[in-house]
Amino acid sequence: MSMATTEPRTDFKSMLREAIVGTTRDFTEDSIGRAIFILSVPAVLEMCMESLFGIVNVFWVSRLGAPAVAAVGITESLLTIIFAIALGLSMATTAVVARRTGEKDSQGASTAAVQGIILGILASIPIGLIGILFAPALLRFMGAEPEVISTGGGYARIILGGNAAVMLLFLINAVFRGAGDAAIAMRALWLGNIVNLLLDPCLIFGLGPFPELGVTGSAVATTIGRGLGVVYQVSVLFSTKSRISVRMRDIRFEPAIARSMLKISFGGMLQYLVATASWAALVRLVAAFGSAALAGYTIALRLIVVALLPSWGMSNAAATLVGQNLGANKPDRAEKSVWITGVANMFVLGAVAVFFILFAEGLIGVFTSDADVIANGVACLRIVSYGYVFYAYGMVMVQSFNGAGDTFTPTLINLGCYWLFQIPLSAYLALRTSLGSHGVFLAITISESALALVAMLAFRRGRWKKQKV
């Protein structure tokens, strides 16, 4: 089992240690506030670690010139499909494992974990083969110039061919989160990032005994880092060092369970694709107002995404608590956990909003000295920040539906609030009023706030409490 003590100590230092090291607490019985904290801290750090993969790669690859950076960017856009599949399967895996964990059905949790991993492997095989065989053709299809294809063909081939590492990293971490072992999920990404951080410059530039592989070296380093993270995950999963343990006899395909998980995951995939398509449409609208508007929007969006990482961590904690408490037949405690998490998230994002509004110019100015870019970035950062209190609840509500295994409801909410409301409103405010690009920023605030209100109303109806997984 996990290494931490179960003594009922409540001071901040001991809770932080449990969050980082791991705990054996029963999250269906323990203090809700403490459970949220212990599950949130490693989840936040886990997401920060995942974001480092892209940051480190771009940092080193940018030294190789524009074609190399373009190759990385186009390949990342191709990875959208892989991320959609991985996130969808991860939502289903977390929901089912959490439910079985709450039911104290350790065998059922292990079986669900194995089914999620099998589905991930099966999905990664055809994607990997297509990537290995047709990487240059895929880059050409995405509009890459010949120089980009010749420079980045190897990068795309390795990243797409090795997509199983991405898939399994997501899925096995989803298993640990569902079981309440967020600290192990965090450590897996720490390991992967440290390896990637060390290998990236060595393989790109040929430092020491390493070959000089250029942009392809970045793909090799990333894949090795993620692969070693998966090796660590599997070693823990097959040991007794976590809340969930898989044995050799558990490795079998259960069609009925797999079908149920696929049904849940399909809604998760659609959620991600709907949101991604909506943001792509917004980029297209902002681009119509020139490079300064687009650059300002891009910089502000990076800051916004980073600021939201703690909230995503808290939202993932809420999903785990919902699944486990429903499994323990404690729907009222599950609901209470969500509202408490929403309030905590509101204070976190409220503080971030105040900071962004007061210091927007200085924050955007760190990234550029262009006055037009700064003006657009400041406008975006401030306008979007006004809705942060609403976003806090919206994020928690959506993830709570997913934690209950109800991925259909948030998919419908996304479709309505993004495609039927956000995109038309953005187009109207940007193109039919004098707001210009600022109309897009305002539409984001309005639509995201509306999404939060709709999600809260749907959550209060309580149908998610009856969701079977």
What does pTM read for this prediction?
0.88
> Residue 417's pLDDT is what?
95
Residues near 343 by beta carbon (within 8 Å), at least 6 away in sequence: none
> Residue 297's pLDDT is what?
87
> Residue 442's pLDDT is what?
96
> Residue 157's pLDDT is what?
96
How far is 411 from 213, CA to CA, in rounded Å? 42
Q: Could you tell me if 144 and 71 are in contact, meaning their C-beta atoms sit under 8 angstroms apart?
A: yes
Torsion of CA 62, 64, 70, 71, to 10 degrees: -120
Which residue type sits at 412?
L
> Residue 25's pLDDT is what?
87
Contacts of 204-207 spanning 24+ positions with Cβ under 8 A: 204/60, 204/61, 204/63, 204/64, 205/60, 205/63
Of the candidates 176, 175, 103, the residue with the CA atom closest to the CA atom of residue 326: 103
Helices (H), 62-105: 66-102
How far is 352 from 314, CA to CA, in rounded Å? 15
> Residue 6's pLDDT is what?
44
> Residue 54's pLDDT is what?
62
Q: Could you tell me if 114 and 246 are in contact, meaning their C-beta atoms sit under 8 angstroms apart?
A: yes
How far is 160 from 198, CA to CA, in rounded Å? 22
Residue 283's CB is within 10 A of a number of other CB atoms, namely 14
Q: Is 249 exposed, middle or buried (0-12, 13-18, 19+ CB in 10 A)?
A: exposed
How far is 419 from 221, CA to CA, in rounded Å? 38
> Residue 75's pLDDT is what?
86
Q: Could you tell me if 175 and 200 are in contact, meaning their C-beta atoms sit under 8 angstroms apart?
A: no
Distance of CA 225 to the CA centre of its chain: 18
Q: Is 80 exposed, middle or buried (0-12, 13-18, 19+ CB in 10 A)?
A: middle
How far is 175 from 193, CA to CA, in rounded Å? 20
> Residue 4's pLDDT is what?
44
Tokens matching residue 433: 């009023």
How far is 117 from 251, CA to CA, in rounded Å? 10
Q: Identify the segments of the chain with pLDDT beneath 70.
A: 1-10, 50-55, 58
